[in-house]
Structure 1
């Protein structure tokens, strides 16, 4: 069945570094707990996993921010830990504690038993992608995503989030062979997972290397970026008659901007610690850039939000290749009206930039 004509392709054109009338904007975690309508749907679903694993609910919450704000892209509502969950590690979300795995990878036998999951275990994700595409009716593009091989490995070895990554780094330093095996399997799994999302209808793919920034220089390249590069190399880059751009976001990765830009991706996501103008000069138009407002700026009130949005846009400057976003996921405590100010200011100021250029 043919897909509806895409009515707003500004996001995809910006990733291709083509001229656009304004800077497109979407937000990491734009479907989430800061929206009362999301909380109402989650209550009906009964749990986070009940929400994420039900295509009807996942579609509903994916579309909620688009019904409220004139955003330029939708992102699949899911979780980065779906892949290790399908590997049989026993994912659970305890109230107030975040994700936990019942069977983390701690021993040589654990790692030896690890395997790329059957993608049929993740059919609920691909069903959600297809349903969201249908219900978008071509309004905006849909982004699919996955965690990076390294970020997934952190959760798989630690068994939960961590403040010091002692368990996973201990394995990395003492048994790099085990870590490389985990990462190799993860890279194969992530590539298959993203390709299945693209086949189901995702029009762009994003790799979240949320914990790449905890690694030392040199080790980041060896244990994170090399495996992200393997994923990117295996991705389908043309589907439904269009290019499928790939965005790589490494939180804390500003030090390695040029290395990340050379991994084969179309765009690099930046956290709020990076100067956009300097980043643009460093990559020299080889990739698009995405970012990078501090999510906490949304607590400063309308005038502060407008000022910070303008500062961010002016830092990048006029011209193609920029997608506006936050420098990390939106906080659950963000006032919904703050996002309205952000989106309106991005669209208005970026149009004015182009008129003045």
Structure 2
């Protein structure tokens, strides 16, 4: 690997500067993304290896980041299990056949690796193009987050139907989560076998859960997935919205890295975690809307807090918003790459 800063930091080794990548770094804030998106549907982009590789490479070529992340979506596992998935501009993802009964859960399949082979094919194309320049991160949605889309039939503000299942029908909820967890572990192992250099588990909606419900309906399944990964030399990153609350519990699953949202001081959180767990984060992505002097000041403020810490990967507390100016993102990455401890 020509640039292994990300892998070193993920394994809590000292680096000469913090490595940088950003969630949603290949996306709607890039004009070049829209040149591709205007020609194909979102699922076509995900399922066509050459196109997925084109999008994955955009931030590698245009931003010079320290790690690439596979272009795909967290809901491909739900689709592979039998969900009728579609994406509509301005609406987002929809499952036309939501999962709300025992019969719906029983109908979901778990031996679905062949239906996700297009992801493995994309990884092989991407690695050929990267040619050892930087690491490639694979990913999957966490079971609770995927469950919420399957049960709600799409995005939700209050997760009412999902929470009703958790509380009124906990046995059904656990059956559904166990099925998703099996598919997710198999899927991440498929990505590892295809050649990714790291994996991240995205629990995008965990902040909807109370502490006890997070432990019962999310954390236990993420721990199960991580324990079933072929993770030799492959760092595992655990991310959730709500990690500023849940990170100490997340550490019990023994990921290599915990990605932290922007609601907590990163150094304080690092010191609360076990030795050997790296942190990733945690700039508020809204800072990337601001004047460049503010962007630089906030990045340097974070670096000053983390200067004595091994195991720090610069990232945002969540993903880049679609209307953040591209030049601001590029400026932030340039500031980070010029920094030296």
TM-score normalised according to structure 2 size: 0.98
CA contact (8 A) 1:277 1:317 kept: no
1:295-348 deviation line (CA, Å, top 9, x unaligned): 110000211111111112222232310000011010010111111111122223
SS at match of 2:26: coil
**Residue in 1 that maps onto 2:284:** 294
In structure 2, C-alpha distance between the alignment counterparts of 1:162 and 1:314, rounded to whole Å: 38
SS at match of 1:291: strand
- Structure 2, unaligned runs of 5 or more: none
- Structure 1, unaligned runs of 5 or more: 1-5
**Residue in 1 that maps onto 2:252:** 262
SS at match of 2:167: helix
Q: 1:53 aligns with which of 44, 47, 65?
A: 47
Matches within 5 A, 1:131-280: 131-238=125-232, 243-280=233-270
Q: How many residues align?
A: 341
In structure 2, C-alpha distance between the alignment counterparts of 1:319 and 1:195, rounded to whole Å: 30
In structure 1, C-alpha distance between the alignment counterparts of 2:257 and 2:224, rounded to whole Å: 16
In structure 1, C-alpha distance between the alignment counterparts of 2:177 and 2:118, rounded to whole Å: 24
**Residue in 2 that maps onto 1:124:** 118
**Residue in 2 that maps onto 1:19:** 14
SS at match of 2:238: strand
In structure 2, C-alpha distance between the alignment counterparts of 1:316 and 1:168, rounded to whole Å: 38
TM-score normalised according to structure 1 size: 0.94
Where has structure 1 moved over 2 Å in runs of 4 or more? 315-319
CA contact (8 A) 2:82 2:109 kept: no
Farther off after superposition, 312-321 or 265-274: 312-321
